[in-house]
Amino acid sequence: MSDAPVTPVTPPPAPAPVAALVAAPPAADNSPSAEVTAEASFPVAEGPEAAGADASPEAVSSEPTTAPLPPPAPLPPVRSPDGRFVLTATALTVLGRTFGLREIERAEVQPVRWLLWYLLGGLGLAIVLLLFLNNWLRTLPTMAGLLVTALMLLYGHRGTNRLRLWLLGREAAHFALPGDADLWRRLTGELNRRVARAHDQAAAEAAILLAALEAERNAQAAAAIEAAAEQPPAGPVISDEPA
């Protein structure tokens, strides 16, 4: 064997571990474009939408869905010159009897004649004239008879004004109101307008109540469905008895 010197060989440097490269954080980029991108990529929700998104369903459902109706404008009372007919915004008083406007369906007035007095006056006038023409009555009794029967005839012919009130669920009420028929027609027209207004107000209030009840019923149904969905499904029953 030869005694030639041996040259030492230097080993190559070991490569960096892969795990160190993976775990190392990326270098920070301080450029303006990187800051703008970071700010624009994560928007922050503000305002009522963000508050409404975090609100619970109970808080949202508890808010009123419909607002109450404003009270109607007050109306001045209307009365007849003799005080027999008094009409306010909520009630009607005729000859001492009071009716609520909501219990009245409609009203009408019609001039009528007193048929009994009309017939008695005409028949009495004819009888007195026949007795006088047959010389069965003297002049003074005949004049008195003619005067009385003529007054009866005029009173029956004049008649009165019949006010009929159609009441809800009850029979109609009738009242005799003497005087000018045009005056009672105007008062009856005002009564019908106020009755229609009262019924419209009652219908609007009923619609609001029905809407509130329907909303409450829907909320209860939704809560029941949500509670049923959150409950875990029931597993099979395992008996402890030996087979």
Query: What tens digit of pLDDT does each residue of 59-99 get?
Result: 434 444 556 667 777 789 999 999 999 999 899 999 999 99
Using alpha carbons, select from 211, 196, 174 the residue that is nearest to residue 66.
Answer: 211
Q: Which residues pair with 97 in a beta bridge?
A: 94
Query: How far apart are the C-alpha atoms of 131 and 137, rounded to whole Å?
Result: 6
Query: How far apart are the C-alpha atoms of 230 and 16, rounded to whole Å?
Result: 53
Using alpha carbons, select from 130, 113, 122, 114 the residue that is nearest to residue 148.
Answer: 122
150 domain-assigned: yes
Output the pLDDT for position 66: 57
Distances (CA, A) of 224 to 58, 63, 89, 212, 220: 13, 19, 45, 18, 6
Higher pLDDT, 49 or 184: 184
pLDDT band at 238 (very low <50, low <70, confident <90, very high): low
Q: Which helix (H) or strand (E) holds 209?
A: helix 181-230
Q: What's the pTM? A: 0.56
Are 128 and 149 spatial neighbours (Cβ–Cβ below 8 Å)? yes
pLDDT exceeds cutoff 50 at 21 = no
Output the pLDDT for position 118: 85
233 domain-assigned: no
pLDDT band at 242 (very low <50, low <70, confident <90, very high): low
Q: What is the mean pLDDT of the chain?
A: 76
Cα distance from N-terminal residue to C-terminal residue, the chain: 88
Output the pLDDT for position 54: 44
97 domain-assigned: yes
Query: How far apart are the C-alpha atoms of 106 and 193, rounded to whole Å?
Result: 9
Output the pLDDT for position 4: 47
Query: How far apart are the C-alpha atoms of 208 and 211, rounded to whole Å?
Result: 5
Output the pLDDT for position 45: 42
Show the CA angle centred on residue 186, arms to residues 182 and 192, nearest 5°.
140
234 domain-assigned: no
74 domain-assigned: no
* pLDDT, tens only, 131-173: 999 888 898 999 999 999 999 988 888 889 999 999 998 999 9
Query: How far apart are the C-alpha atoms of 177 and 162, rounded to whole Å?
Result: 6
pLDDT exceeds cutoff 80 at 20 = no
- Domain limits for position 131: 79-219
34 domain-assigned: no
How many separate domains does the chain show? 1
pLDDT exceeds cutoff 80 at 221 = yes
Q: What are phi and psi of 198, to 5 degrees?
A: -65, -40
Query: How far apart are the C-alpha atoms of 156 and 159, rounded to whole Å?
Result: 5
61 domain-assigned: no
29 domain-assigned: no
